[in-house]
A = this chain, B = another copy of it.
Amino acid sequence: MSSKEHLSPIEKLNEALNSGELRQVRYTLNNSLRPAEIAHLLDKSPPKERQLLWSLVNKELEGEVLQYLSYDVQADIVSRMDAGELLEVTEGLDTDDLVDLLQQLPERVMRELLQTMDIQNRARVEQVLSYDEDTAGGLMNTDTVTIRPDITVETALRYIRRHKEIPEMTDSLFVVSRRDAFIGVLPLTKLLVSDPDMLVREIMNTDIAPIAATMTDTEVTQLFEQHGLISAPVVDEDGKLLGRITIDDVVDVIREDADHSLMGMAGLGEDADTFAPVLKTTRSRAFWLGINLITAFVASAVIGLFEATIDKVVALAVLMPIVASMGGIAGSQTLTLVIRGQALGHLDRSNAAWLLNRELIAGTINGLLWAAVVAGVAIIWFQDLQIGGIIAAAIVINLLAGALAGTLLPIGLKAAGIDPALAGSVLLTTITDVVGFFAFLGLATYFYG
Q: Which A residues form the contact surface with B (CB < 8 A)?
A: 14, 34, 36-37, 40, 43-46, 68, 157, 160-161, 163-166, 168-171, 188-190, 192-194, 225-228, 230, 247-248, 250-251, 254-255, 258-259, 261-263, 265-268, 272, 274-275, 277-278, 281-282, 285-286, 288-290, 292-293, 295-297, 299-300, 303-304, 307, 310-311, 314-322, 324-326, 329-330, 332-333, 335-337, 340-341, 344-348, 350-351, 354-355, 358-359, 361-362, 365-366, 369-370, 373-374, 377, 381, 429, 433
Contact = CB atoms under 8 A, between A and B. Distances in A.
Contacts of A267: 329, 333
A340 B436 CA distance: 32
Given A230-B247, A268-B333, A285-B366, A346 B274 contact: yes
15 contacts: A40-B226, A157-B192, A254-B258, A267-B329, A268-B337, A277-B358, A285-B333, A289-B370, A295-B325, A296-B325, A299-B322, A310-B318, A316-B317, A321-B321, A321-B324
B329 A288 contact: yes
Contact of A278 (B285, B321, B361): B361
State the copy count for this chain: 2
Most buried by B among A161, A310, A348, A362: A362
Given A251-B254, A350-B14, A310 B314 contact: yes
Contacts of A268: 333, 336-337
B230 A169 contact: yes
A239 B190 CA distance: 30
B228 A358 contact: no
Nearest to A335: B266
Contacts of A46: 351, 354-355, 358
A285 B43 contact: no
